[in-house]
Chains A and B, each alone.
Chain A
Amino acid sequence: MLECKSLGKIYHVDGNDVHALSDINITLPTGSFTVLVGPSGCGKTTLLRAFAGLIEPTTGSIHRDIPPCSVISPSLQIGYVFQEPRLMPWLTVSQNIGFGLKNKTSKQDLNRRVADVLSMMGLERFAQARPDQLSGGMASRVGLARALVGNPDLLLLDEPFAALDAMTRRRLQGELTTIWMARKPTVVFVTHDVEEAVLLGDVVYRMHAGLITERYDINIPRPRDPTTEKITAMRRLILQGFENEEQPSLINK
């Protein structure tokens, strides 16, 4: 389980205090699929980074209590998809994907895992390519493959499909759902696309100005079709929530 207690994060920018997160209290059960949805600058990425342990919260605390189920290492295996691909320019696509697993598992196992995610992402032909030879969409798929290759217990995704064309996005949303249903990692997915949030999540948290403003439970069976009445109704509900939101300033002088 992943638990935030009165979590807050303040950045000091040019003498001003920017409240990136204020008083976040949520509990994400192990094996759940949670989506954080909100406009740019609402604190989604900051919250995801706090979950990953990449930033220290200013106030409050985070408890990460997820039993590691992977065979690779006794510690918690985290997969993180950053907004940008963040590939090492000196490594090939295969080496980038296997980066975090190098020396942690046998060479055969590593090669097999890398080959599996390469084919899932449709990148087999580019296994030996270098990052500067890839298009933007391909690079972001490599970033996604790198996060998935270790079968993470905790999978954190920061707008992973934003750079992809609609067809690839739809296919990879399906793949992600399949992976989650098969292995039940704890997933936190950040997006500003409300439809994507409703298609993927068990629980959707609406965020605004560093606060969680609403929680939606999506009790729609999978696989989900974006054109069905239930999905569009839920989507409308969340969008209305955004429209009704006032626009408080992020900066408290």
Chain B
Amino acid sequence: MTDISNIDKYTIPTQTNFWGHVRSIALKISIPLIVIVATIALWAGSLTLLDIPSILLPSPAMAFSAAVELVCDGVLFEHIVVSIKRLTSGYILAVALSLPAAFMLSQSVWAKRILNPTLEFLRQIPPLAMMPLLILWLGIGEAQKVGIIILACFFPIFLGALGGIAQCDPKLKEVGRISGLNNPQILWRIVLPSALPAIVIGLRIALGQGWRALVGAELVASAAGLGYMIVDAENLARTDIIVVGIIVIGILGLTSDWVARWLIVRFAPWVKIDEGPANA
């Protein structure tokens, strides 16, 4: 063996000392915790200092008691389940449509030329602008909510996949050709894994977009879900419930992104993910 330069780099993870590890975890947790506490303090402080009536902005204590109330009578949980069910089914359908579409389009120059202008046009339209038409076509039931989520999630995933496929290194494809792989095999074993980082970014952006579109759809026409809970609270002048709804939506969005990132680290360790949120 002549290369010893890399052995150190390779064994470093097992040599990290225990207290260093604890300290880095403590640092990771403590900073966000401090920021959250400070935000709540600022929120409570500004209410008393500026004398804001609670109908405009409830105090943290009021929001907390509203949250307890909503949790205890099970209402919050019901709305969350409805929203998550809608998001999951819409998201899965969007993935099932957009990934094969991207792969098929990438394989044909002519399909790309013909469909690209249409797709570029459709991409510019906010999903919520399609709401009136979707209500006419699909009614005001679950199909319409799921439809909105599909519209919101389709393009981030589709465009991410298309870009990733286009960026696949032709030199790696040559390795496949030399190895005697046919075109579908090259697509499956080289192009797909090499496009995965871009696909993953698309999937994460789509998740964020899906949440936004869902809550929007529930605000406009719905009888359940977190968006509906907020509108219903507005009609009853319950700003405390509105604040709870907003916080829950934020927490669920964060959690789903964390889960997505954990899945990436677990199953695709070569994909580099940035620290910041993807759904900016």
Q: Which residues of A are interface residues toward B (Cβ below 8 A)?
A: 52-54, 73, 75, 77-80, 82, 84, 86, 88-90, 99-100, 102, 122, 126, 129-130, 132-135, 137-138, 165, 167-168
Contact = CB atoms under 8 A, between A and B. Distances in A.
Interface string B146-185: 0000000000000000000000000110110111110000
B180 A99 contact: no
A149 to B, nearest CB: 10
Contact of A122 (B1, B181, B269): B1
Contacts of A129: 10
B178 A88 contact: no
B24 interface: no
Contacts of B268: 90
A165 B6 CA distance: 15
Contacts, number: 62
B3 interface: yes
Contact of A88 (B2, B5, B9, B190): B190
28 contacts: A52-B178, A53-B177, A54-B178, A82-B174, A84-B171, A88-B193, A89-B194, A89-B270, A90-B193, A90-B194, A90-B270, A99-B175, A100-B179, A100-B180, A100-B181, A122-B1, A122-B2, A129-B10, A130-B269, A133-B6, A133-B9, A134-B6, A135-B3, A135-B5, A135-B6, A137-B2, A165-B2, A167-B2
A138 B178 contact: no
B268 to A, nearest CB: 7
Contact of A90 (B175, B178, B196): B196
A78 B196 CA distance: 29
Interface string B251-275: 0000000000000000011100000
B6 A138 contact: yes
A251 B274 CA distance: 46
Given A73-B180, A88-B190, A135-B3, A130 B270 contact: yes
A100 B177 CA distance: 9
Nearest to A133: B10
The binding surface of chain A is classed by DSSP as: loop
Contacts of B189: 99, 102
A82 B6 contact: no
The binding surface of chain B is classed by DSSP as: helix
Given A54-B178, A129-B10, A137 B270 contact: no
B164 to A, nearest CB: 13
B178 A80 contact: yes
Contacts of B269: 130
A89 B179 CA distance: 17
Contacts of A73: 180
Contacts of B6: 133-135, 138
Nearest to B268: A90
Contact of A86 (B3, B10, B172): B172
Contact of B175 (A82, A102, A132, A167): A82
B263 to A, nearest CB: 15
Nearest to B192: A90
A106 to B, nearest CB: 18
Contacts of B172: 86, 88
- Nearest 7 pairs of A and B residues by beta carbon: A100-B179, A80-B178, A90-B193, A90-B270, A135-B6, A168-B2, A135-B3
Nearest to B193: A90
B73 to A, nearest CB: 49
A70 to B, nearest CB: 11
A88 to B, nearest CB: 6
Nearest to A134: B6
Contact of B174 (A54, A122, A126, A132): A54
A195 B5 CA distance: 28
Given A73-B180, A100-B180, A133-B10, A86 B5 contact: no
A90 B264 CA distance: 12
Interface string B185-224: 0000110011010000000000000000000000000000
B41 to A, nearest CB: 44
A99 B5 contact: no
